[in-house]
Chain A
Amino acid sequence: MLAVKRIFASYYAEADFPIPGLEQREFGIGNVKKIDARHLNFANATELRRYLCSNTPMFVSHSTAYYEFPGATPIQKKQWKGADLVFDLDIHSEGRYGAYAKLEAVKEEVVRLVDDFIINDFGVGKEDVIIVFSGNRGYHIHVRDKAFLDLGGDERRELVDYIMGQGLDYLDFFGLSDSKPQKLLGPRPDEGGYRGRMARGVLKLLEDNPTALSRKYADQKEREFFISGIKEGNWSRTFLKFDELKKRLKIVADSLPIHSVNTDVGVTQDLSKLIRVPNSIHGETGLVAKIIDDIKAFDPWKDAVLENQNKNQNPKQKTENPSGIGSASEPGNEMKVKFIEDVPQLTLGNDTVGPFKKDEMKELPQRFALLFVCKDSAVLI
């Protein structure tokens, strides 16, 4: 691992750590496990950087909480002052390599969570939300809006339940009019919360894929008549029987919550949780837990790999190779590994690698070599 750590350290020498309240946070580091030691604290980013360069752990995380005395033990003595609201979205998948092909799918949920729930429903300003690649199988969303910092665990849990649609019963949104029992009343698109989301979801379905609701909605007139009603909260302008309509709306209701929120480890509701330091390296992949500007364009195998970091400081790396020789294989970034177990063929970003057999020796681009070494599937030779 020494060679790996040397690569990590050279990244850390120039890494940027824009962590608000860094000096009020507890840090944890890990080599064997993700957290072997905690209760560390640093006065500023320079101190943290120096520590990471000289000790270079495989994992480093910081508390979502702000403390008066972040290094004090036991935890009661730290004096909790508040904590970022953090959501962990990730992929559950089979095997150690199963998640990477599905990372793209989580992005759609990240966008919905941030735009639709955090900004629109919760009223958090865009500037108080950062999206961070977890460095492995998902994304972390850090909310640093002051109004939410002092919420307790139960209250955070309520927000998670809301986002995940726990206890959502969309049938409750509909009811017959008291004065006209033949009239079905329901949510309007301009309403807040799940009611409005439901109405907007149905309108979108009628625009994008009307026949999913009924084949007859291929007819523009039928469709527009129904839509004009929904906009006013009148759901009766349909040829479908009300009970049948409500049943068919389930496909929309099911698509409204965010499904990939990870609640197993209590990331959101645990007030003393340590979370991967943004812009630090994930020791199980060798990828950087990058702070993301444009989630839609983000590609971990391009944007989070170590050989593409610190480029501003090393403009030379960007210059083209005039001879053209070896430009595809990125000269100087190849590493030789020996596999110690079989690895199936993997699609990582735009590349397909493997399969590899046990005892096979191979020269690979640094990012893939690091991945297999960090995953204990191969050793550097």
Chain B
Amino acid sequence: MAEGLDFSVRYPFSESAKKHIQGMAPDERIVELAVERVKKALKGESSARMLLHDTEKMEEIASFAAARMMLGHLHNNFLTSRFAVNESKRARGYLDRDGDAAVDEVASRFGIATKGEGDRLAVDLPTYLRYSLRNPDYRLINMRILHGTVEIKRSQKLRLIEEAVRQHVEDIPLVKDPPDIIKQAAKKLLAEIPKNESRIIIKAGDHPPCVMKMLESARKHENLPHHARWYLATYLTAIGMGEEAIVKVFEDLPDFNEKVTKYQVSHIRKKEYSVPSCATIMTYGLCCAVCGIGHPLNWHTLTDDRKGVIRK
């Protein structure tokens, strides 16, 4: 059972983890750990701790469940998506080190079944679409696909599982009436949400639809793929937004790291990186409308009527 318990600690969303903590009620210690777990997620830090005894391991698993209860009670996008990103990255860390048997057990939790060995794995197309990233390395057009299966490498498989974990953790059912101990702790978490709701105000039509979509995702604390962040930063730089304001836009992302973001935004300005063309944005998988403008900055040369037609 000890090994099973370690598996459950690493993957607290698994069925075996559920079984391990069945019947356990959240006590003060567990709730404390849960609050800590969410706080770490907000900072993007690892929540790894030294766990010596089985009881500690049980508490660790239960802290995940308790954290989910709190988030289910609060139903706050900001907290939930940061927690989901952090938990998926945590799981990924273990997946990178675990053997195929453990990886496949986690994968099966999300219906990700692969055939083949090594770096020639076949996964079925709908599953692939559900969990793949919208970036050139994962665009369907660049993949080998045959009879409903997509060929992926082992590292890509791990990335699909990471995304599946993120989606699963993010999808928390509403917990209307949790135990009091959870309710009180949840209140504490609310205080952790940064109070910078004074955002740049953006009107419909201010930016091309793809930019609007990214801003909207950021505002809802949804994750953005790397290329989307790059495009958004170059675009906002090009239209003359200040570095600080741009960093503020990224602050809403679930895995926001102030230092890294500041560095990257100022790097883009210093190096004068240009805004990618529509063709490139298409290859990123970020194009979401038919503007026919060739380059995002041309949006600002359009008439309001034309913008309105495209937005429809």
- Chain A residues engaging chain B, CB cutoff 8 angstroms: 120-124, 147-148, 150-152, 154-155, 157-159, 161-162, 165-169, 172, 191-196, 263-264
- CB-based contact B142/A147 at 8 Å: no
Q: Is B290 in the interface zone, CB < 8 Å from A?
A: yes
- CB-based contact B147/A195 at 8 Å: no
Complex Cα distance, B126 from A165, in Å, reads 19
A254 to chain B, nearest CB (A): 14
User: Residues 118-140 of chain B: 1 if any A CB is under 8 Å from the residue's CB, otherwise 0?
Assistant: 00000011100110001010011
User: Residues 140-180 of chain B: 1 if any A CB is under 8 Å from the residue's CB, otherwise 0?
Assistant: 11111111110100000000000000000000000000000
7 other contacts beyond A155-B130, A158-B134, A162-B139, with CB at 8 A cut-off? A122-B145, A147-B125, A147-B148, A151-B126, A154-B134, A192-B146, A196-B144
Minimum CB distance partner of B129 in chain A: A155
A286 to chain B, nearest CB (A): 28
Complex Cα distance, B139 from A159, in Å, reads 10
Q: Bin chain B's interface residue count.
A: 20 to 34
Complex Cα distance, B125 from A192, in Å, reads 13
Q: Is B283 in the interface zone, CB < 8 Å from A?
A: yes
- CB-based contact B285/A167 at 8 Å: yes
User: Could you say which of B126, B129, B144, B282 contacts A192, with CB atoms under 8 Å apart?
Assistant: B144
Instruction: Enumerate chain B residues within 8 angstroms of A148, measured Cβ to Cβ.
Output: 126
- CB-based contact B140/A162 at 8 Å: yes
Complex Cα distance, B142 from A168, in Å, reads 7
Q: Is B51 in the interface zone, CB < 8 Å from A?
A: no
Minimum CB distance partner of B283 in chain A: A167
- CB-based contact B290/A151 at 8 Å: no
User: Could you say which of B130, B284, B288 contacts A157, with CB atoms under 8 Å apart?
Assistant: B288
Complex Cα distance, B149 from A41, in Å, reads 36
Complex Cα distance, B140 from A165, in Å, reads 10
- CB-based contact B129/A193 at 8 Å: no
- CB-based contact A167/B136 at 8 Å: yes
Instruction: Enumerate chain A residues within 8 angstroms of B284, measured Cβ to Cβ.
Output: 167
B65 to chain A, nearest CB (A): 27
Complex Cα distance, B288 from A158, in Å, reads 10
- CB-based contact A161/B282 at 8 Å: yes
Complex Cα distance, B152 from A193, in Å, reads 13
Instruction: Enumerate chain A residues within 8 angstroms of B126, measured Cβ to Cβ.
Output: 147-148, 150-151, 155
User: Residues 271-289 of chain B: 1 if any A CB is under 8 Å from the residue's CB, otherwise 0?
Assistant: 0000000000011110110
- CB-based contact B140/A158 at 8 Å: yes
- CB-based contact A161/B141 at 8 Å: yes
Complex Cα distance, B288 from A155, in Å, reads 12
Instruction: Enumerate chain B residues within 8 angstroms of A154, measured Cβ to Cβ.
Output: 134
A123 to chain B, nearest CB (A): 2
Complex Cα distance, B284 from A150, in Å, reads 24
Complex Cα distance, B143 from A37, in Å, reads 42
Q: If the complex has contacts A154-B134, A155-B130, A159-B129, are A172 and B142 also in contact, measured as CB distance less than 8 A?
A: yes
Instruction: Enumerate chain B residues within 8 angstroms of A162, measured Cβ to Cβ.
Output: 139-141
User: Residues 80-95 of chain B: 1 if any A CB is under 8 Å from the residue's CB, otherwise 0?
Assistant: 0000000000000000
Minimum CB distance partner of B279 in chain A: A167
Complex Cα distance, B125 from A174, in Å, reads 25
A270 to chain B, nearest CB (A): 12
Complex Cα distance, B136 from A165, in Å, reads 13
Q: If the complex has contacts A121-B145, A161-B140, A264-B290, are A166 and B283 also in contact, measured as CB distance less than 8 A?
A: yes
- CB-based contact B141/A151 at 8 Å: no
Instruction: Enumerate chain A residues within 8 angstroms of B124, measured Cβ to Cβ.
Output: 123, 147
A287 to chain B, nearest CB (A): 27
Which 9 residue pairs are nearest across A and B when measured between Cβ atoms? Answer: A123-B148, A192-B146, A167-B283, A155-B129, A162-B140, A193-B145, A123-B147, A192-B144, A147-B126
User: Could you say which of B130, B139, B147 contacts A167, with CB atoms under 8 Å apart?
Assistant: B139
B175 to chain A, nearest CB (A): 21
Instruction: Enumerate chain B residues within 8 angstroms of A168, measured Cβ to Cβ.
Output: 141
Complex Cα distance, B120 from A192, in Å, reads 13
Complex Cα distance, B143 from A150, in Å, reads 22
Complex Cα distance, B146 from A354, in Å, reads 49
Instruction: Enumerate chain B residues within 8 angstroms of A157, measured Cβ to Cβ.
Output: 288
B237 to chain A, nearest CB (A): 24
Instruction: Enumerate chain A residues within 8 angstroms of B141, measured Cβ to Cβ.
Output: 161-162, 165-168, 193-194
Q: If the complex has contacts A123-B125, A159-B129, are A167 and B282 also in contact, measured as CB distance less than 8 A?
A: yes
